[in-house]
Amino acid sequence: MYHHLKGEMVEKTPAQVVIEAGGMGYLVRITAETFRRLPDTGAQCHLFLYHVVREDAMELFGFCTKEERQLFLNLMKVKGVGPHHALSVLSSAPLEEIYRAITAGDIKTLCRAKRVGKKLAQRIVLELKGELLLDETGDEKERTGPSADAEEALISLGYTEQEAAKAVSEALKEGEADTEELVRRALTKVR
């Protein structure tokens, strides 16, 4: 899995960039916020990545901050939200406004995103409202504890971040537990 990419930006559009690193050009899909923060073409660029592999495609999604990538990953935990839905939500408003919309249950703000209707916006609020923790600066807090450790354990076993997060979330429905117990439960939940 790719974590980040640093290199020369050779192409730039509001939806994607091409970054050359090590003699290869990487096509990376981006959010509107990331586009606004990027330097001009020809300059060095650094993006945090998420790599999606499907039967019919492999795609890289890039973010200017770890917080933006984390919210992207959280959105993809929601049933029915794929990477393109999550990218659309992140492109619809500044990061802080999206956090506030989710935590306040503001469906209208979430519906401004392309591909997101009322039902999907309600599901996003329902599934993420209690999951997003903000610190006093408005940034998402680093998740720690048994659930975060269990997710890391599943990822180290070869599961994707999305699969690990979903399995641990399902395991938590049976009640709180230590890391070992959460991993054991989660392993029964993954396909």
Say what the pTM is: 0.68
CA distance 18 to 8: 8
Sequential pLDDT tens for the chain (191 residues):
688 999 999 999 999 999 999 999 999 999 999 999 999 999 999 999 999 988 888 999 999 999 999 999 999 989 989 999 999 999 999 988 998 999 889 999 999 999 899 999 999 998 887 776 544 344 444 455 677 778 888 887 778 877 888 888 888 888 878 888 888 888 888 76
Q: What is the pLDDT of residue 134?
A: 46
Each residue's pLDDT tens digit, 105-126: 999 999 999 989 999 999 999 8
Q: Say which amino acid occupies 150.
A: A
Where are the strands (E) in the chain, listed by range?
A: 4-12, 16-21, 24-30, 44-53, 58-63
Q: For residue 166, what are the contacts with CB-CB under 8 A and spacing of at least 6?
A: 77, 189, 190
DSSP state of 139: P
Which structural domains are found in the chain, ordered by start? Answer: 4-63 (2.40.50.140), 66-128 (1.10.150.20), 146-189 (1.10.8)
The DSSP H or E segment spanning 145 is none
The DSSP H or E segment spanning 165 is helix 161-172
Burial-class residue 168 by CB neighbours within 10 Å (0-12, 13-18, 19+): buried
The count of C-alpha atoms lying within 13 angstroms of the C-alpha of 8, restricted to the half-sphere facing its C-beta, is: 6
